[in-house]
Structure 1
Amino acid sequence: MPLVNLLKTAVQNRATIKNKFYALVTYQNVIGTKFNNSKRLYSTRSTVIQLLNNIGSKREVQQYLKYFTSVSQQQFAVIKVGGAIITQQLPQLASCLAFLYHLGLYPIVLHGTGPQINEILENEGIEPDYIDGIRITDPKTMGVVRKCFLEQNLKLVTALEKMGVKARPITGGVFNAHYLDKDKYKLVGQIDSINKNPIEASIQAGALPILTSLAETDSGQLLNVNADIAAGMVAKEFKPLKIVYLNEKGGIINGNTNEKISTINLDEEYDNLLKESWVKYGTKLKIKEIRDLLMHLPRSSSVAIINVDDLQKELFTDTGAGTLIRRGYKLTCYNDLSKVNIKLLKNKLIDKVDDIDEYIKTLIPGTFQLYADEPMEVLAIVKKSIDNDNNGISKLDKLIVSKSGWLNNVTDNIFKLLEKDFPNLYWIISETDENMSYFFGKSQGSYTKPGEVLFWYGINDLNNVTNLINKFVDNKNNNQSNNNSGVFNSKNQIRKFHSSKINFGSKKVALIGARGYTGQNLISLLNNHKDLDIGYVSSRELCGKDLIGYKKQSIKYSNLSFDDLKRIEKDGEIDMWIMALPNKVCKPFVEAIEEVNGKGKIIDLGADFRFDKSGKWIYGLPELKGRENIIIANKISNPGCYATCAQLSIAPMKEFINLNSRPNIFGVSGYSGAGTKPSNKNDPKFLKDNMIPYSLTDHIHEREVGFHIGNPVSFMPHVGSWFQGIAMTVNIPLKENHGLTNEKVNEIYNEFYKGEKLIKILGNDIPLVHDISGKHGCSIGGFKISEEGDRLVVVGCIDNLLKGASTQCLQNMNLALGYDEFEGIPEF
């Protein structure tokens, strides 16, 4: 299959495949069709480029190949679509299904129509009636149900056909059922059997089957069936690799942390999960139903609960876009080999040790712990420390993970056990290991030598780190010698031990376009940073003048050309390039640096790359977007000031937002936010006793907030008469029956930002500009729910020049360059 072969090549060079995409047209058979038609050619080009944009690593390509080549067309996925998604996110849904279709994959799609039914009934003055969560369906309601199903089915099919997708509406003839309880629920059915013929005929004809959950009795009476149950019955019949439930939350949310759960391996986690205090009502029922469903399917099958925007990411990458639920295998810990399948163990070690029998002899009871699932898809062997050389630090001696183990995140469960059983641990991997970013995320620190990387966690004593590194580099003398770098002798090199990486030695940064207020604040922060030094400062207007305020050394502004950038990057002089340029100016500077393929990383303070979908740029908001991606990033887009404050203010409430409305944001910034170019918006005389509204629709930060929280917002910016600091009042529309109180909201925000050093939650107290000006964090408070319970007001305050720009930039630089995240940042 040519597409598969090309994707294998993409494992080595993803960019080359994209740039040479036109080579695809020379193949006669790509994803099951010839390029006979210019429209289909364009569609296929778009599809493959879209796929490559979503695949970011060798492991993800392997996952795609695994799925694409191992199943028949009708066994790829069953996708259950909620009725609200057809109403609110039809273009996104149709696009995702078209993407699969053009790859030659035919998911079975089954949709509901609950919200549409309720709307029609309410318009007709009929109160929807439920018993035990089941809709009472009398003949009049059934007429509405049937009408809605036909309308929504046609709407989805039509949207697909407009995208060049052949789709077949299947509104009946699939589900045979009997009355669930005719007296109690009226025309509600319980499915007895499924007629596969209409579905298989649709797929054989090259059309996506689009099903409703209407069922029929033997006599032909229509019965209403819950769409989730119908989707589960289809899955039991076809046994697909994936069963996908599309919902608004985009996954199962951990009620304690407010974070989305990435993976649930039921055999390992089910019993403990049901004991969690937040697992109740609908969540508990959903988990139980999914477990029952998966018990009827092969272990290779899984259930994904995701947002429609993340559908293709969930199917083709391991980004953790939603919640993946699989049976998995229960992990077992062994401290002797008597209960271990030795034959299977030897088979797993065959390529990992030179002499298997000799290695197994070293596994003496009490000196090791072995963790594995039943098929040993994941195998970890820890050798306990039994001498003083390692200062009581045990070693993860072997970690063997199959492709399936990586793809299904079983490795995460292994590390949970390791962290529980071993408070400190170290391990060594090859420098070329394709899962390097994963190990960075699981470690506290690292040290690299040619060919290998040492990782560790839980080691909080610098002497222990020194000894460990000395041993790693084969230096048996733990005292400092002439062969050592001497970095451990300098007090200035001592690192704080936090979750970020530990990296020794100073690094140089270059500021391009640093004359503005943000550049000045960043220079001040770098002046107090122990290990980041300025190498170049470039400004056309200030070229030749001294850099004021930087005390480490004397530096003059230069006016670097593109050729200068290439030379500096090629010579490896700069570790981090900071682009402090106006919007839409940055791109050629980035391209010049990229051209020489040097080591320098890039952070852009402007808006040019905040909407990147290629995966090349990481959005640098550590508190919300995660630190692990920033740690391994080569290019970082620094968020906008208003956008930072708005996202931090809204994020904890995301699951409670009423999607039929949108948050409204009223923001007022000090006039430093208007830049240094003279105008009424930064003229203190004009602003005295005044406030200036501007860009009241379509402000770029309005789009930025909506893009990154996944929900559109309305934003109205203003300029006030003070110099720096933002006051922001956010009105958040709430779903019905949210169960929130002011106290509960305060509890949610405190839990959401627990441990975040630059976020302060003030509860009912309202943050004020004069308290945040000159400070390096964000204050959030003033929580107030309306009497009607339909909206929540939140107030956020941030210094637009600091956490809104330069402080956040330094957070991102510290993470990306291997320092403690808060190095050089004053306490907030």
Structure 2
Amino acid sequence: MLSASAVALRAGARRTVRRVPLRSRAPALSAVPGAVRRHRPFSTSAARTADLSTRAMIVQTLSSVGSKREVQQYLSLFTSVSSQRFAVIKVGGAILTDYLDELCSSLAFLYTVGLYPVIVHGAGPQLNTLLEQAGVEPQFEEGIRVTDAKTLRVARDLFLRENMKLVDKLEEKGVHAQPLTTGMFRAEYLNRDKWGYVGKITGVNKQSIETAINNGYLPILTSMAETDDGQILNVNADVAAAELARALQPLKVVYLSEKGGLFDAAGQKISAINLDEEYEHLMSQPWVKYGTRLKIKESKELLDTLPRSSSVAIIHPEQLQKELFTDSGAGTLIRRGSKLLSATSLSEFKDLDALKAVLVRDRDGPNAMAAVDKYLEFLGQNDFKAYYDDAMNALAIVLPASNGRQATLATLTITKSGWLTNIADNIFTALRKDHPQLVWTVKEDDENLGWFFDKASGSVTNNGSVMFWYGIDNTDEVFQLMKDFAEHGRAMLGDSNLESRLHRAATSGANPAAQQVRAYSTLARRPVLAAPRFGGQASSGRTFVTQTNPNPPIGKKNASKSQPARIALIGARGYTGQELIRLLDSHPNMDLRHVSSRELAGQKLAGYDKREVIYENLSPEDVRDMERRGDIDCWVMALPNGVCKPFVEAVYEGRKGSNHKSVIVDLSADYRFDSTWTYGLPELVPREHITQATQIANPGCYATAAQLGIAPLVPHLGGMPHVFGVSGYSGAGTKPSPKNDVALLTDNIIPYSLTGHIHEREVSTQLGAQIAFVPHVAVWFRGIHHTISIPLAKTMTSRDIRQIYQDRYAGEKLVKVVGEAPLVKNISGKHGVEIGGFEVDKSGRRVVVCATIDNLLKGAATQCLQNMNLALGYAEYEGIPVM
């Protein structure tokens, strides 16, 4: 009984967003305690009486980072509380120096839609610089700045200047901001003997904040406190933000960070942390140390004192809107979460009437309660496991696997509050732990359909419903699911005919799980927006075959077949052909039937154990006839450049007069510039294009690494990237030449094709940006290293750039973003690409990025298999050991 669609936004009509009331006459600014006097006229229009048309325009603008539904949901949530309880935002000194404009633009958006965050800022880096200029060496004890009288004077003047700089910048953007620089925090000495003029906050002046907001001003606070007798004390800005949050009890506590979040041991951004479920585990991990450990610990200590609806977000200022107004977010979200309960019998529920109320809340009609009674009767007689939070904001009921059928998610009902507080994600995390395979269905018009796509590893649509599944890798099982779904549809799967389904199940004794078709799930915090794709085509908005879920839905070509795909390899003598043979040998759904090599004809194929295969010398005529008979599902052309055309044309000829249409994957460069062929680089070309393709040009090895190394920065290019590439001699093939002569290469490196190399044209064409490429060959056997110098259109930091790459390749199983420059010896024999380095020169306008790839695997055979999997309808990484 899947009712997630009604759940998300059906729990009552969408509330009209409350506009913050403004007084017709504002009190004088001097009446605000602690305010630095700023003489400016008070204008009602400038003070936030934005009319509905302005609001609609802003909502539309915000919708560029998420769906309109998401924006409206979060606006309703944020404006459902008093203004001062929306958010506390801590701004570090580095943000004021490097990202002031981005910060103020983000705050201007919030201000325009009637949201008034309370801002508290620090100025640590600026203070260090000023102290050094004054001949004072900064001192720290236990991470706390030792503050003597001279340091305090410098800090006080600096904080006032930085505060006014932020206020003035906001004013330029039409935002009325109120500087609150004194009297906001009461404090006592933390330890005068040890730290000097450092304070421990004992109280917060909420009245000044409320007065500023009620008069249409954003409150801008400094992290300076005062004792009862008026002595100014220095306070850490993070500490000040936490105490401010404890006083105001906001929905959000936001820490703006250059890094844009917390990162795990692999350097990947942590999307969300549910403290109740994950804290102990996280704190036991060896990689959780230093700043990461401290921030998680401090967040827990803070959130333990706030309402359960509050959360902490660590985010880059440029992505503040995305963090606040989309399901996917952008930084790291830390929340207490909700402790999930479970039950395997009705007697374990505290209140059956409450359970009935939950089950009936998404059903309409006079027979709704009768249907629920039948459902409970069925549950009382059959095995199930229920997952729910104490407030019943979310409830999932799973019917276990039985009789060869996978576990079925029979019920999922989630209130609006459950969605917005991410209980839904907690539920799916629990489902993943307990059920390695799961199936469910959702209506095709469900407003949360993108969320379900991000939870699944496969899906299929039929007659207005979508069946999802995860954990089901066996092709026969998938085909059976699809067959059941096509025959029975949603009537056998979900809410639309619950009464008849339960009646049949109850009277026949059959388990509905045996009649239902299943659906799917993955572990993402919130749905993820697709990243831009290159190669002359762009993809935006949500798409199934994107970063958090790269495996595409089952394709159409083999949907009706139970046998493995039949593969023919033309040109198997080279290194790439041998690597592909090894991969096909372990692939569960591909069968290598024919291998053509003129030199090896008549010999037994080594390295393939599924069947005995004898090398053949297939002619174009043989290929034509085999295609006409429908003998082959996929042709792989592993021939040198300029040789495969007769074989490709033979396939074309064989298709005439035949209903059969095989897939062709060409490993040469012959068709990489042919617009009628699909360029097969799944990480950059929309995967749905590959799943629908019948002729795929496999990218070059140099070109794959170069494109992946440059693509995330294409929007930021300030000039032509230069690629210095060095390959092992296996890239020169098996035919003897100076480029694979080990004696010549020993103690040597050979440059070649200094200008106009075909990969230079390939990369430039696919990225839509001109690049320069100089290839070299060295004495090692396999592996490529690229050192790429990239001019930037604006000043950026190494952290900025690394974050861009991490975001771009999040979830891509064959792309690993590392910190240091990657090494060839570490990529040899592996199936992906490593990208690192990210060193920016002193100007901040040029970065050097390094990329490594095994030229025989991801540079050729592995990528070929990715494309074959996608085009033939299998999971993208089937048969590929991921990184």
Aligned AA for 1:252? L
1:547/1:555 contact within 8 Å kept: no
Query: Which structure 2 residue ranges, 5 or more long, are not aligned?
Result: 1-8, 14-42, 490-548, 560-626, 636-644, 656-674, 693-697, 713-717, 727-750, 758-762, 778-782
- Partner of 2:302: helix, strand, or coil? helix
The 3 A distance-change label for structure 1 pair 826 and 115 is closer
Aligned AA for 2:148? D
The 3 A distance-change label for structure 1 pair 254 and 43 is same
Equivalent residue in structure 1 for 2:555, among 481, 503, 524: 503
Equivalent residue number for residue 448 of structure 2: 435
Equivalent residue in structure 2 for 1:327, among 336, 344, 362: 336
The one-character-per-residue Cα deviations of 1:10-57 (angstroms, maximum 9, x if unpaired) are: xx9xxxxxxxxxxxxxxxxxxx97699999999878634422323325
The one-character-per-residue Cα deviations of 1:634-664 (angstroms, maximum 9, x if unpaired) are: xxxx999999746855999xxxxxxxxx999
Verify: 1:243 aligned to 2:265, yes or no: no
Verify: 1:74 aligned to 2:84, yes or no: yes
Equivalent residue number for residue 108 of structure 1: 118
Aligned AA for 1:85? I
Equivalent residue number for residue 325 of structure 2: 316
Aligned AA for 2:317? V
Equivalent residue in structure 1 for 2:824, among 716, 741, 765: 765
Equivalent residue number for residue 720 of structure 1: 774
- Partner of 2:418: helix, strand, or coil? helix
CA distance in 2, matches of 1:444, 1:319: 18
Equivalent residue in structure 2 for 1:374, among 390, 408, 433: 390
Question: 1:428, CA displacement in angstroms?
Answer: 1.8
1:263/1:323 contact within 8 Å kept: yes
Aligned AA for 1:311? L
CA distance in 2, matches of 1:240, 1:105: 12
The one-character-per-residue Cα deviations of 1:116-166 (angstroms, maximum 9, x if unpaired) are: 011112233322101111000001111111122112111111111111111
2:89/2:256 contact within 8 Å kept: yes
Equivalent residue number for residue 667 of structure 1: 723
1:368/1:381 contact within 8 Å kept: yes
Equivalent residue number for residue 162 of structure 1: 172
Verify: 1:175 aligned to 2:191, yes or no: no
Question: 1:90, CA displacement in angstroms?
Answer: 0.6
Aligned AA for 2:214? Q
Equivalent residue number for residue 61 of structure 2: 50
Equivalent residue number for residue 372 of structure 2: 356
Query: Which structure 1 residue ranges, 5 or more long, are not aligned?
Result: 1-7, 13-31, 477-496, 508-526, 534-545, 557-588, 590-601, 606-619, 633-637, 653-661, 671-686, 694-699, 706-714, 739-744
CA distance in 1, matches of 2:276, 2:157: 42
- Partner of 2:348: helix, strand, or coil? coil
Equivalent residue number for residue 461 of structure 1: 474
CA distance in 2, matches of 1:278, 1:689: 45
Aligned AA for 1:553? Y
The 3 A distance-change label for structure 1 pair 766 and 804 is closer
Equivalent residue number for residue 286 of structure 2: 277
Verify: 1:342 aligned to 2:340, yes or no: no
- Partner of 2:373: helix, strand, or coil? helix
CA distance in 1, matches of 2:54, 2:106: 13
The one-character-per-residue Cα deviations of 1:167-198 (angstroms, maximum 9, x if unpaired) are: 11111110111111111000000011111232
2:551/2:877 contact within 8 Å kept: no
The one-character-per-residue Cα deviations of 1:306-342 (angstroms, maximum 9, x if unpaired) are: 1111101111111220111222210122111222132
Equivalent residue number for residue 3 of structure 1: none
Verify: 1:302 aligned to 2:338, yes or no: no
2:558/2:873 contact within 8 Å kept: no
- Partner of 1:363: helix, strand, or coil? helix
Verify: 1:410 aligned to 2:410, yes or no: no
Question: 1:284, CA displacement in angstroms?
Answer: 2.5
Question: 1:393, CA displacement in angstroms?
Answer: 1.7
2:724/2:788 contact within 8 Å kept: no
1:59/1:434 contact within 8 Å kept: no
2:460/2:466 contact within 8 Å kept: yes
The one-character-per-residue Cα deviations of 1:748-793 (angstroms, maximum 9, x if unpaired) are: 99xx99994577999643799xx99xx996466999999xxxx998
The one-character-per-residue Cα deviations of 1:76-113 (angstroms, maximum 9, x if unpaired) are: 11100111001011110010011111112111001110
Question: 1:71, CA displacement in angstroms?
Answer: 1.8
The 3 A distance-change label for structure 1 pair 113 and 35 is closer
Comparing 43-52 with 265-274, greater Cα deviation is found at 43-52
2:824/2:852 contact within 8 Å kept: no
TM-score calculated relative to the size of structure 2: 0.59
Name the Cα RMSD after superposition. Answer: 5.7
2:88/2:253 contact within 8 Å kept: yes
CA distance in 1, matches of 2:133, 2:352: 69
CA distance in 1, matches of 2:306, 2:685: 35
The 3 A distance-change label for structure 1 pair 826 and 119 is closer
Aligned AA for 1:446? S
Question: 1:348, CA displacement in angstroms?
Answer: 1.1
The 3 A distance-change label for structure 1 pair 173 and 306 is same
Equivalent residue number for residue 494 of structure 1: none
CA distance in 2, matches of 1:804, 1:46: 46
Aligned AA for 2:120? L
Comparing 450-459 with 129-138, greater Cα deviation is found at 450-459
* RCO comparison, higher one (Cα < 8 Å, 6+): 2
The 3 A distance-change label for structure 1 pair 643 and 229 is farther
- Partner of 2:346: helix, strand, or coil? coil
Verify: 1:397 aligned to 2:410, yes or no: yes
Aligned AA for 1:63? Y
Aligned AA for 1:382? V
Equivalent residue in structure 2 for 1:215, among 219, 225, 233: 225
The 3 A distance-change label for structure 1 pair 811 and 122 is farther
Q: Larger Rg: 1 or 2?
A: 2
Question: 1:692, CA displacement in angstroms?
Answer: 8.7
2:276/2:336 contact within 8 Å kept: yes
TM-score calculated relative to the size of structure 1: 0.63
Equivalent residue number for residue 422 of structure 1: 435
Aligned AA for 1:371? Y
Question: 1:374, CA displacement in angstroms?
Answer: 0.9
1:337/1:365 contact within 8 Å kept: no
1:444/1:502 contact within 8 Å kept: no
Equivalent residue number for residue 399 of structure 2: 383
CA distance in 1, matches of 2:98, 2:269: 22
CA distance in 2, matches of 1:785, 1:529: 54
- Partner of 1:472: helix, strand, or coil? helix
- Partner of 1:465: helix, strand, or coil? helix
Aligned AA for 2:427? I
CA distance in 2, matches of 1:760, 1:162: 39
The 3 A distance-change label for structure 1 pair 440 and 126 is same
How many residues are paired up?
A: 623
Equivalent residue number for residue 142 of structure 2: 132
CA distance in 2, matches of 1:666, 1:281: 37
Comparing 258-267 with 316-325, greater Cα deviation is found at 258-267
The 3 A distance-change label for structure 1 pair 452 and 783 is closer
Comparing 199-208 with 106-115, greater Cα deviation is found at 199-208
Question: 1:444, CA displacement in angstroms?
Answer: 2.6
CA distance in 1, matches of 2:268, 2:154: 38
CA distance in 2, matches of 1:827, 1:270: 28
Equivalent residue in structure 2 for 1:61, among 65, 68, 72: 72
CA distance in 2, matches of 1:89, 1:348: 47
